[in-house]
């Protein structure tokens, strides 16, 4: 009888960003986003936890090989986000405000095609140790 288990892999990246809505006035941006709207960017050590749920393979004892999962995260996310400016360097945020909420959905969409459709996927993203987000919701 097969057993469903969730496995989690944590990775991290360092990036700069700035919160800004170009359709608002500077005053409105400042009022809503405060210091996060400062023009020259700030940054974070983002911690990313990728959760994959599926059946244990009886041959390997794995749901997914953690080294394979780590390689996928590195190729699809870290290679494009790490040591970058999310607003300036990452195409997905050209017209999308890089809040933690929007980043976590973008990361899910980047990883989903590389994970077997028999496996479900959930992403948790720490912007700071005290502020974090999760998608999809459970």
Shortest Å, Cβ 29 to a copy of itself: 10
Q: Which is nearer to a copy of itself, 40 or 113 (CB)?
A: 40
CA angle 39, 40, 46 (to 5 degrees): 110
List interacting residues with a copy of itself (CB under 8 A). 3-12, 14-17, 19, 21, 32-36, 38, 40-45, 53, 56, 59-63, 65-67, 82-85, 88-89, 96-102, 104-105, 128-138
Q: Is 20 a catalytic residue?
A: no
Residue 83: active-site member: yes
Q: Which of 6, 15, 77 is nearest to 43 (CA)?
A: 15
Q: DSSP code of 59?
A: T
Q: Which of 11, 36, 92, 101 is catalytic?
A: 36
**Per annotation, catalytic residue among 42, 75, 83, 88:** 83
Cα–Cα distance between 138 and 135 in angstroms, integer?
8
How many angstroms separate the most distant Cα atoms in the chain?
Answer: 61
Q: Give the catalytic positions in this structure.
A: 36, 83, 127
């Amino acid at each position: 009888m097969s057993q469903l288990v969730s496995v989690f892999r944590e990775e991290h990246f360092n990036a700069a960003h700035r919160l800004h809505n170009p359709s608002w006035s500077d005053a409105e941006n400042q009022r809503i986003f405060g210091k996060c709207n400062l023009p020259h960017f700030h940054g974070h050590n983002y911690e990313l936890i990728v959760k994959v749920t599926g059946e244990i393979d009886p041959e390997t004892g794995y749901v997914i090989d953690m080294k394979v999962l780590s390689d996928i995260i590195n190729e699809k996310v870290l290679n494009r986000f790490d040591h970058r400016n999310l607003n300036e360097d990452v195409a997905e945020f050209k017209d999308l405000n890089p809040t933690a909420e929007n980043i976590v959905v973008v990361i899910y969409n980047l990883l989903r095609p590389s994970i077997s459709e028999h496996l479900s996927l959930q992403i948790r993203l720490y912007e700071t140790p005290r502020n974090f987000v999760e998608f999809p919701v459970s």
